Chain A
Amino acid sequence: MKQYDVVIIGGGVIGASIARELSRYKLSMALFEKEEELAFGVSKSNSGIIHSGTQNPPGSLKAKLCVQGNALTRKIARELGVDLKKVGSLIVAFTEEERLELLKIKKDAEILGVPGLKIVGRDWIRKHEPNLSAQACAALYASTTGIISPYRLVYDLCENAARNGVEFHLSSKVEKISALPVSDGKSGPRFEISTPKGSFRTRYLVNAAGLYADEISKMAGAGGFEIIPRKGEEFLLDKKREHLVNHVLYPLPTEKSKGILIIKTSDGNPMIGPTAHDVTDKEDLSTSDAGLKEVLESARKMIPTISESDIIAYFSGLRPTAGHDFIIRHENAVPGLLNVAGIQSPGLTSAPAIALMARDILKDNGLILRKKRFFHRHQREENHLFAIPLDKAKKLVKKDASYGDIVCRCEMVSAKEITDAISRGAMTLDGIKFRTRAQAGRCHGGFCTTRVMKILAEKTRRGLAEITKRGRGSEIVKGERGND
């Protein structure tokens, strides 16, 4: 039976960050993910903001890790060639009372070490954010807020970790965890995990299972917390509205969330949302008319010109909450088990800081860390036609003819980018969409779905009827014509 030093459960941004961090050391490691592709959990449906670190309760774990994570993410994005845009953010005040609140938020944030903060007034706002409501009287500007494509970050982290020796097991749901008798206490495996693809043993187990972290903790014999999903509905606007705002805009935060934001996204489409309501079903990714109404009303309070007809897509995500803060701890009752759970917002931002903390906790609990002589820090960059100037595109087309073969008309994605995505692990239409943006534009795949299906079927040697949207059960068609 295959045996590892460390097994990570969960291929979201947390598992991916920990995998990459630990791949610097001489360890045998594997990551298990139940879905057919990485980043198909919470990490695919969020706001994509690398928060500066304002608006978190002082003294909390997430407050500290968010500030650290912001700086670390910038470094990692540079190393991996992930597009991170430092756009800055504004928390907007509409009344004198709210303006005073800003001063308090600024003071709290400065204690946490958030750099680049300043209060700006009406004139500044008019000049730098002309579409913002005339009612806005002041704002707290934070220069370090950034935007990133969350799934592309996960893909790049994982590819880099794989390059540095981490094994990835997809479609591998961990169904059972057994504690092994500690015959060889010093170095032997302590857990055996069962998946549909076989059983594996490991000495350390990192639980980064997002919404299911409570179940994994229970399976491993610890339990100790319950994950409550908190739903956030988000609505994407047409790329034509790209310059609607120049910063990420927040209202004043509430008890449960940062409120309804106006978000710039790394792909250009502005986004409005998210709502924040606790639900019971961990698979309930539905959106609602009430959610749409709530988001539109709040968004219009900031940017009055937003209209329902600007919306070209919508989705919802579930924040895995376990109380008010993250849970990152070694379970002393179950030696070798590290729970990284309840990673609600700002989990995307905090991920690299969480990874360092996880590393240190493992080390404190006996994991021997010896640096590899050579660590592949950098990642080869990918080309996206939509992101480069036309004369650069011209050179690419000359070099490889299939860059000139446009598959997706709305987002200008070529056949070459689709085949690249497949060779880097995309197995589903959503996987291709997240990597390349094909099908993500204003016609939603009306034009390119059949072509993308054909390329995917050919490259992965499957029939067209086997192609899925996001894994088994989500097949696109119900078979071929005439043969049932």
Chain B
Amino acid sequence: MTERELIIIGGGPAGMAAAIAARENGVKDILLIERDQCLGGILNQCIHTGFGLEYFKEVLTGPEYASRFMSKVKSMPGIEISLRSFAVRLTKEKKLTYLKPGKMEKVKAKAIIMATGCREKTREMVHIAGMRPSGVFSAGLAQKLINIEGLLPGKEIVIVGSGDIGLIMARRLVLEGAKVSGVVEIEAQSRGLARNIVQCIEDFDIPIYFNHKISRIYGKNRVERVDIVRVDGNFNEIPGSSFEIKCDTILMSVGLIPENELIEMAGVVIDKKTNAPVSGELNKTSIPGIFVCGNSFKVYDIVDSVTRDSLIAGKLAAEYLRSRR
């Protein structure tokens, strides 16, 4: 089995920042593993602007923001990048198994940084009664379909949840000629950034229903309509408040879950509610030498803070490796 100083899993903004910082702090042998065909992570599908205000003091799109880090990581000797490489197993001895086309590799690391991002909550995780037709997407999947694949997920849309991704997708869909009939939020206010409420919803006159939820989905093959109902402070339905919206598509923007199944497999203590590592200190876990950064450590609102904190992860890993020499 080959041995490496530091292995970083995930080549999004978090993994790239961690690699750069680790290298700058003296780690000379770094393997950066990314399952996609290119670095950049979720930023590749975020073609809207609003990235980099804090870190670069500039207004950038997601791909622009990512590309600045990509060129830097690629230019640094000592960082080996392995693309189309899917980490599938990690042990507490820091042995990592990953698959790539034609190959299965097993490597042992002295330290590990996990930067695997997060996944979206889906309709299945918040029970919505009714049928299960096609046309129910998580907002991020819809974003990928439009921005990367050039496909239109639907024409008459209802968005569930008012997280940033949902808000941004509301605007995106209107610009693509779709009708967004409403954003339905169970809480009394949005979890999204104020600027997104203004720029993505109010500027486009999209109705937003606070204290409401979808109570039923109709349609055998494709979504046909939904029932919306008002809820009280305990999220209980208020009888008689139900109304119907016709739509062919539902986007779910109901939260993100840190992707931590690999370290959970290795025995790192994970918070059952949030799926984030239980940790007293930024980027650290219950196993010394296994670090976590970016959206897999906790769900961040803006990428600039991901970069800031992930640079620290790289530095912590470097310190850990130095202390063990």
Decide: B86 and A311 in contact? CB cutoff 8 A: no
Roughly how many angstroms separate A445 CA and B124 CA in the complex, as a whole number?
A: 11
Known A309-B125, A450-B141, A477-B154; further 6 A-B contacts with Cβ < 8 A: A288-B129, A390-B104, A468-B134, A473-B221, A479-B152, A482-B176
Partner of B86, one of A409, A464, A482: A409
Closest to B99 in A: A404
B253 to chain A, nearest CB (A): 12
Decide: A289 and B88 in contact? CB cutoff 8 A: no
Decide: A404 and B100 in contact? CB cutoff 8 A: yes
Decide: A470 and B221 in contact? CB cutoff 8 A: yes
0 or 1 for each of A449-484: is its CB under 8 Å from B? (1 = yes): 110001000000000110011111111111111101
Decide: B127 and A469 in contact? CB cutoff 8 A: no
A80 to chain B, nearest CB (A): 28
Roughly how many angstroms separate A5 CA and B132 CA in the complex, as a whole number?
A: 39
Partner of A477, one of B125, B151, B220: B151
Q: Note all chain A residues with C-beta closer than 8 A to B162.
A: none
- The interface centre, meaning the residue of B84, B150, B151 with most chain A CB atoms within 10 A of its CB, is B151
B122-142 residues with Cβ-Cβ distance < 8 A to A are: 122-125, 127, 129-134, 138, 140-141
0 or 1 for each of B162-204: is its CB under 8 Å from A? (1 = yes): 0000000000000011000000000000000000000000000
B302 interface residue (CB < 8 Å to A): no
A-B contact pairs, 11 of them (CB 8 A): A283-B220, A311-B127, A397-B102, A404-B104, A405-B101, A446-B122, A470-B221, A473-B221, A477-B151, A478-B152, A481-B151
Enumerate chain A interface residues (CB-CB to B < 8 A): 240, 283, 285-289, 292, 308-309, 311-315, 390, 393-394, 397-398, 401-406, 409, 412, 414, 442-447, 449-450, 454, 464-465, 468-482, 484
Task: Number of B interface residues at 8 Å Cβ cutoff, please give it.
Answer: 50
Decide: A287 and B129 in contact? CB cutoff 8 A: yes
Q: Note all chain B residues with C-beta closer than 8 A to A288.
A: 129
Roughly how many angstroms separate A405 CA and B36 CA in the complex, as a whole number?
A: 10
A470 to chain B, nearest CB (A): 7
- The interface centre, meaning the residue of A292, A309, A404 with most chain B CB atoms within 10 A of its CB, is A404
A422 to chain B, nearest CB (A): 18
Decide: A480 and B133 in contact? CB cutoff 8 A: no
B249 interface residue (CB < 8 Å to A): yes
Roughly how many angstroms separate A473 CA and B130 CA in the complex, as a whole number?
A: 18
B146 interface residue (CB < 8 Å to A): yes
Sort A-B residue pairs by CB-CB distance and give the 4 closest, nearest first.
Answer: A401-B102, A473-B221, A469-B134, A474-B221
Decide: B141 and A445 in contact? CB cutoff 8 A: yes
With contact pairs A390-B104, A397-B104 given, residues A480 and B150 touching in the complex (Cβ less than 8 Å):
yes
Decide: B130 and A287 in contact? CB cutoff 8 A: yes
0 or 1 for each of B257-273: is its CB under 8 Å from A? (1 = yes): 00000001000000001
Roughly how many angstroms separate A435 CA and B152 CA in the complex, as a whole number?
A: 27
Roughly how many angstroms separate A443 CA and B264 CA in the complex, as a whole number?
A: 17
Q: Note all chain A residues with C-beta closer than 8 A to B100.
A: 404-405
B35 interface residue (CB < 8 Å to A): yes
A40 to chain B, nearest CB (A): 12
B308 interface residue (CB < 8 Å to A): no
0 or 1 for each of B83-106: is its CB under 8 Å from A? (1 = yes): 010101100000001011111100
Roughly how many angstroms separate A170 CA and B225 CA in the complex, as a whole number?
A: 30
B38 interface residue (CB < 8 Å to A): no
Decide: A444 and B155 in contact? CB cutoff 8 A: no
Decide: B155 and A478 in contact? CB cutoff 8 A: yes
B59 interface residue (CB < 8 Å to A): no
Partner of B222, one of A315, A394, A403, A474: A474
Partner of A404, one of B101, B119, B141: B101
Q: Note all chain B residues with C-beta closer than 8 A to A240.
A: 264
Q: Note all chain A residues with C-beta closer than 8 A to B281.
A: none
B210 to chain A, nearest CB (A): 21
B6-43 residues with Cβ-Cβ distance < 8 A to A are: 35
A423 to chain B, nearest CB (A): 19
Decide: A285 and B131 in contact? CB cutoff 8 A: yes
B110 interface residue (CB < 8 Å to A): no
Partner of B124, one of A312, A472, A484: A312
Q: Note all chain A residues with C-beta closer than 8 A to B264.
A: 240
A146 to chain B, nearest CB (A): 27
Decide: A406 and B132 in contact? CB cutoff 8 A: no
Q: Note all chain B residues with C-beta closer than 8 A to A446.
A: 119-120, 122, 138, 140-141
Q: Note all chain A residues with C-beta closer than 8 A to B248.
A: 478
Roughly how many angstroms separate A473 CA and B104 CA in the complex, as a whole number?
A: 40
Decide: B122 and A444 in contact? CB cutoff 8 A: yes
Q: Note all chain A residues with C-beta closer than 8 A to B222.
A: 473-475
Q: Note all chain A residues with C-beta closer than 8 A to B273.
A: 309
Q: Note all chain B residues with C-beta closer than 8 A to A447.
A: 119
Partner of A444, one of B124, B176, B216: B124
Decide: B221 and A471 in contact? CB cutoff 8 A: yes
B34 to chain A, nearest CB (A): 12
Decide: B129 and A289 in contact? CB cutoff 8 A: yes
Decide: A401 and B155 in contact? CB cutoff 8 A: no
B101 to chain A, nearest CB (A): 5
A84 to chain B, nearest CB (A): 27
B289 interface residue (CB < 8 Å to A): no
